[in-house]
Each structure stands twice: as structure tokens, then as C-alpha cells.
Structure 1
């Protein structure tokens, strides 16, 4: 019987911790330093993640927007859906931003993690200013899309993809079919490639975590525990406070807790698989048959949400980036934190709905604010459990959106009687 991926990652974490502590930075095998081996394995994994960023994000957004068009265009239902997704993702990010600044999980008396880019981290981040926030918006319209893709300028690519997907919905006949099939094919291929890369996640985790432990020992584990609690608290506030308030005051649901019962099968599936995409069929069944939302709204809102609405992921990206900055002793001013919010909001749109795909987006944020992408290795110690939690938040937010939009569309049988 094949071990589930999360158990493989857990075993890799245990082995990496033991090996890193045992070998340290001086240990060798056949004249080769163990640290070089760890670094090689971890770098290969990070490079593989970075390799798929551009085609994955572009194809995900184009197919998602094209799907909106195929379901009736950017009319009333489309604007409500996208407006809801943007609003809840922004709320989630701001919750994470506030809590990580209050709790400050990365602040300690321990020395910062030792990585190759360590010496230039402070200078790179402190070089960011309000002008960089303006520059972010200027980069939304790239002068050369191919060059933007080569340099990993995701904001420009996201903006281009949104426009491309929108105008694809204006095509007719065979041309429209060809374009839709092409981009759907690209997206499916990229999902398969991402799935393949994630099969090697245990090896990548081993390399990154072993290298981190070898260099810093266990000095950062106290900070990681506090980081874990910060993310859990922020996700809990969004899941248990914000979502029921939206159900009650925006959707007009008298008893929001009925929706938690209706979504129980989907929440458990999301938590166990860490995959919004895998959970989508169960989410649609729960929303339609247990919560009482029409097929018209369910089939429109949830597939789009599985692609572009990632509240828990956006929250996690923001907290993770600021936590890493705190670990390196870097003070983030308002402009830089605003930059993180903007990039977290936009990158969360294109995150694939599969386990640990947010690692791709986090690397984009770290690079955008001048932090080393290699610091992702520190997060892998606690990422799996947090991934399970934020996936549950992601799919629950999608379902709340379906309920709220159904109520605003005048549907009368939503969460009125128990169908479960």
C-alpha cells in the first residue's frame, strides 16, 4: 500500500531533521559535504516549482475567465462572483497582516537563518519604498509580455491573462473552440506537471529542511511554532468569524452554522487532501444538494472559485513573507507591507488547487520584496498541516460565496431546511 503524500513528507521531515542535526555543516561522505547534497536536492525542487509558475498561472487565469464567459459572460452573476472573491481575499490578507504584526512570530534573539543570500537581504528589502508600490502598478501593463514572463513579473502576466481570457469570450465559432481547447489543454498539462513535481516534494522537503537544520540547528523551531499558531489563529478568525458574519449580514442567513453542517463532507475532504481541485465535485454536491443552492449558481461560482479564490492561501502568503522578514531582522515599512498585500492578492488568483501549490506563490512574493526564495525551506516544517487548514478555508469561502450570490439572486430555498 502506497503511503499518502502527507505521510511521506512527514517522514522526510523527521529524517531531514535528524540528518541535518547529525551532519551539521562539516559532515562529509566520500569527500562531499552533506550540506552540498542537501542544498543540491532542495535547489532542484525549488527550481522545478519556479519552472512551472508562468505557464501554470497564465493558463489557470485564462481558462477561469473564459469559463465565466461560457457560463453567461461578465454579466451580473460574474461581477458579483469576482467582487465577492476579491473582497474576501483582501479581508483574509488584512487579518493575517494585522496578526503577524501584533504577534511578531519571527522576532527573537536568535541569529537569522544562514543562507547564501543572507548578507544582501536587509539592503534589498530596505531599498523598497512607496515608489516600488507605484512601480507595481506600472508593471501591471508590461511593454513586453515575453520579457515579463522571462523575468517572472507575475503582475503583468496576470493582467495580460485577465485581458486575454476576457476577449477570448468575445470569439465565435471554430476559432473560439480552438482557443478554449488550447488553453484548457495547457492548463491540464500544467496541472499534471505540478502533480508530478509535488510527488518529489518529500525529497525537496528533505533537502531544504536538512540544509536549514544543518546551518542553524534548532534555533528557529520556537519561531516556527509561534508562526504556526499565528497562521492557525488568523485562519480561525476568517473561518469562524468573518464567514458567518458574511452569511448573516450579506446573505441574510438566520443561522449561519447550518452551512457548516451542509459543507462538512467537503471540509473533511479538503482537509485530508489539501486540494481544492480534488474537493470540487464534493463541494458542488454539498452546496447544491445539502445547502440548497441552484445548479445555475453552483456550476458557475464554485469552479471559478477553485481557480481564483484562495482566501486561506492569500492569508498564508502574507503571514509567511512577513514572518521570514522578521526572522532576518528586517523592518518592513508600510510601503513594503502594502506591496506584499498587493502581490499576495494577485498571486493567489493563479495558485493551482493542489497540495502545497502556494509555495510557488510565496516564492514570487519573497523575490518581489527582496527576500531569498530559499527561505521557503524554513516553512516546510509546518507547511503540510497549515496547507490542510487553508485548503478547508479556501473551499468554505467558495461555498459561502455561492450561498450569498444565490440569496442575492432571489433563491428562496437556500439553507432553509436541513437536507443533510
Structure 2
């Protein structure tokens, strides 16, 4: 018997959660145990499992990814151009999402907050988040350099952990001693193990999502679906703007090529990315498309594999919109500093955890933790996550290809897309 794919399991769990949650409400149960308490237990257990893997997963992913770039040329001029473009394109994607989520306000006016945490704790959450508004931009950078990295990890201060991991990975890649080969192998092995643990945790995602969604439906009824639908279209419109406005402008004015030809060249890879929702699985086809477009092996062989690991425009955009959507659901008006923090953490996490399974869940968990919001909102995001995952993966792959062509042109190469 063929095994049901995980995304279909989650879809079935959501449908069952909607039906059962609406039927049972908050009072029904067996004996002294309410079904509502069972839903809360299942959801909390799943969220705790996600929290458990965040620190080792992020650390291993960033360090192993950067440390394995051993080519001196790769870390030189070509590497500098690649990293600069990837940082810029991801930042542009996040800013598009930031503008759209503030314009469309998908979570504003909803009653999701009560369903996510219970009426009694909404005020407590708001107080906790508003307490962060006294910080200024300087404090954000100070938190990036923690005095005690172990304490920062224990307290969930992910900004400092990410910065340390980037620093550690870079200098590990620069070391030529045999002793550091052991360290490099250790983090590569740790990454492999954490990937397996993440896959194992995700096997329980249907149960966890069932608990989170059923709890919300028992609290708020079907009113919760309207803001989720607005959130869905906010993400779709934002991804479309980035893919069909921002990136073509970069192709036209930086690479001096015709964007239409680039779309035609990349259509097989983008369709594959959409159907598989995996940048890594699409990488061989992306490289083939770029070869046919006339990009040299030197450029595409470096830029594309690195992009499949660190460049995730669609993911970064989605993380930003999702975090602000949940904040709006709590009636919170985010300050400039809080939104700046979300932008920066979305940028860093999209680099650090993009290549792993369920990357968005881990990244959004980090962002919500940084601004002080509960993780229960992730359950609502899962309702539309599969379709949005397919879309943002296609955008991720398209951005990698744009970087490849732009960098190739900056190196003086003539492609077939002019």
C-alpha cells in the first residue's frame, strides 16, 4: 500500500481538526478531561519538539554550510559578488513582503489571539511584546554579539547564536590545519543527524497541527479562516511582485538581458521546483537550464549550489509576512525597531536554515521568539503552507538563476539570453 505523502497527511489532519473542533467546542469531553485539553496537549507537545531542535539545527546548518566552502577562489571575488547579490535580493524580497503585509493587514481585526492562547493570556502576551518596544536599533546589534554564547543559546537569543555561527563557520573554512578537519566533520555529521531528527519530528506534524487547529476552531469557530485567506493572498501577491517585478528589473538593468528569455530558459526548473517544493531536488535541472543559457561551469558550478543552500528569497519573504500576520492577530502595532528586527532575523534565518526540511517552521519559530510572540500561530499557517511552500520554492530557484546570470555577465560572459 502506497504511503500517503506528509502534506496530504497534514491536509487531512486540518480537515478533521476543523470538523471535530467545531463539534466539540471547549466544554465537551470524557470524564474530567475535555477534548479541548487534549488538543492543547497535542499542539504544545509538537511546538516543544520544534523548539527542542532549533538551537542545534541552526548552529550545525550555518557552520557546516559555510565551512564546506573550501575553494579559495570561491571565497574571493566571485564569492563576494554572490553573497552580496543573495543578501540584496533576499532583503528586497523581505521589504516587498513587509510593505504588502502592512498594506493588506491580514491579521488586523481578527479574533485569532483568543484562539491561539486563550482569553486570559492575550493581555499577558501583548504586555510582553510591548515591553520590547523601548529598545532601539543599537540594542538589536548589541544582542547580535552576546557575552556568553552558551547562555544566549539557553535563553533562546537567536540573533547572537546566528552571528556566532556565521563567524565560526567562516573562520573554520579559512583554517588549513588538519585539526580543524575534525571540527568540520563534526558539524557536517551533526547537521546530518539534526536533519534526521527534524524529519522524525515532522512525521508527527499532522498530529500537532490537528491539535493546534482544533484548539483554535474550538475557540473561535470558522471566523479564523477569513484572516488566513487574506494572509494567503498577501503572500501570493508579494511573491508575484518579487518574481515578476523586482527580479526582472535586476535582470534588465544589471545583466542587460531580456527577462522574457530568462523565464523561457528557466521554465522547466521552476515547474519542477513548484511541484517538488525542494530547491535542492531542483538543483541539477537548474544547472542544466543555466548551461543551455550559456553560463560557464565556473560560475554556475559555484553560484547555484551556494544559492540552493543560502539564498531563499521566497522563504525570507514568507517568514516576514507570517510573523507580522501573527503579531497583527494579537492587535499589536509593531514599532519600527520591532519590524526592523523581524527583517534582520528573517534575512539571517533564511540564510541559516533554508536548506533543511521544514525550514520555514524553524525560521518562523525563531522570529516569533525574538519578538516575544507564542508559537501557536504556526498551526494556522499550516492550513495554506503546502501551496505557499510550492510557490516560494519556485521563487527561490528563480532568484538563484537570476544571480547566476547577473554574476556571469559581471564576469564578462556572453549568454544566450541577451
User: TM-score of the superposition, structure 2-length normalised?
Assistant: 0.94
Describe the shift of the 1:112–1:127 C-alpha distance in structure 2 as closer, same or farther (beyond 3 A). Answer: same
Structure 1 residue aligned with 2:126, among 94, 111, 122? 122
Q: Which aligned pairs between 1:197-346 and structure 2 lie closer than 5 A?
A: 197-253=201-257, 255-287=258-290, 289-346=291-348
Describe the shift of the 1:5–1:292 C-alpha distance in structure 2 as closer, same or farther (beyond 3 A). Answer: farther
Which stretch shifts more, 235-244 or 69-78?
Answer: 69-78
Q: CA deviation at 1:263?
A: 2.0
Instruction: Name the CA distance, whole Å, in 2 between partners of 1:31 and 1:265.
Output: 57
Q: CA deviation at 1:68?
A: 3.0
Partner of 1:88: 89
1:238-257 C-alpha deviation (Å, 9 max, x unpaired): 0111111111111111x212
Q: Cα RMSD (Å) of the superposition?
A: 1.8
Q: CA deviation at 1:11?
A: 0.9
Q: Secondary structure at the match of 1:330?
A: coil
1:50-75 C-alpha deviation (Å, 9 max, x unpaired): 11111221122112222333363521
Instruction: Name the CA distance, whole Å, in 1 between partners of 2:126 and 2:10.
Output: 32
Task: Tell me, yes or no, if the aligned pair for 1:39 and 1:208 is still in contact at 8 Å.
Answer: yes
Instruction: Name the CA distance, whole Å, in 2 between partners of 1:30 and 1:301.
Output: 60
Q: CA deviation at 1:22?
A: 0.9
Question: Are residue 171 (structure 1) and residue 175 (structure 2) matched?
Answer: yes
Describe the shift of the 1:347–1:224 C-alpha distance in structure 2 as closer, same or farther (beyond 3 A). Answer: same
Instruction: Name the CA distance, whole Å, in 1 between partners of 2:309 and 2:294.
Output: 23
Q: CA deviation at 1:176?
A: 4.0
Instruction: Name the CA distance, whole Å, in 1 between partners of 2:112 and 2:170.
Output: 49
Q: Secondary structure at the match of 1:163?
A: helix
Which stretch shifts more, 186-195 or 244-253?
Answer: 186-195
Q: CA deviation at 1:332?
A: 1.4
Which stretch shifts more, 276-285 or 220-229?
Answer: 276-285
Question: Are residue 28 (structure 1) and residue 32 (structure 2) matched?
Answer: no
> Between Structure 1 and Structure 2, how many residues are aligned?
414
Task: Tell me, yes or no, if the aligned pair for 1:41 and 1:207 is still in contact at 8 Å.
Answer: yes
Q: CA deviation at 1:233?
A: 0.3
Which stretch shifts more, 172-181 or 91-100?
Answer: 172-181
Instruction: Name the CA distance, whole Å, in 1 between partners of 2:94 and 2:392.
Output: 12
Task: Tell me, yes or no, if the aligned pair for 1:56 and 1:350 is still in contact at 8 Å.
Answer: no
Partner of 1:162: 166
Which stretch shifts more, 350-359 or 393-402?
Answer: 350-359
Instruction: Name the CA distance, whole Å, in 2 between partners of 1:187 and 1:197.
Output: 15
Q: Secondary structure at the match of 1:394?
A: helix
Instruction: Name the CA distance, whole Å, in 2 between partners of 1:87 and 1:399.
Output: 15
Task: Tell me, yes or no, if the aligned pair for 2:295 and 2:413 is still in contact at 8 Å.
Answer: yes
Q: Secondary structure at the match of 1:250?
A: helix
Partner of 2:50: 49
Instruction: Name the CA distance, whole Å, in 2 between partners of 1:203 and 1:286.
Output: 40
Task: Tell me, yes or no, if the aligned pair for 1:56 and 1:352 is still in contact at 8 Å.
Answer: no
User: TM-score of the superposition, structure 1-length normalised?
Assistant: 0.93
Partner of 2:388: 386
Which stretch shifts more, 371-380 or 276-285?
Answer: 276-285
In structure 1, list runs of 5 or more residues that go unmatched: none
Instruction: Name the CA distance, whole Å, in 1 between partners of 2:63 and 2:369.
Output: 24
Which stretch shifts more, 355-364 or 311-320?
Answer: 355-364
In structure 2, list runs of 5 or more residues that go unmatched: none
Instruction: Name the CA distance, whole Å, in 1 between partners of 2:114 and 2:307.
Output: 36
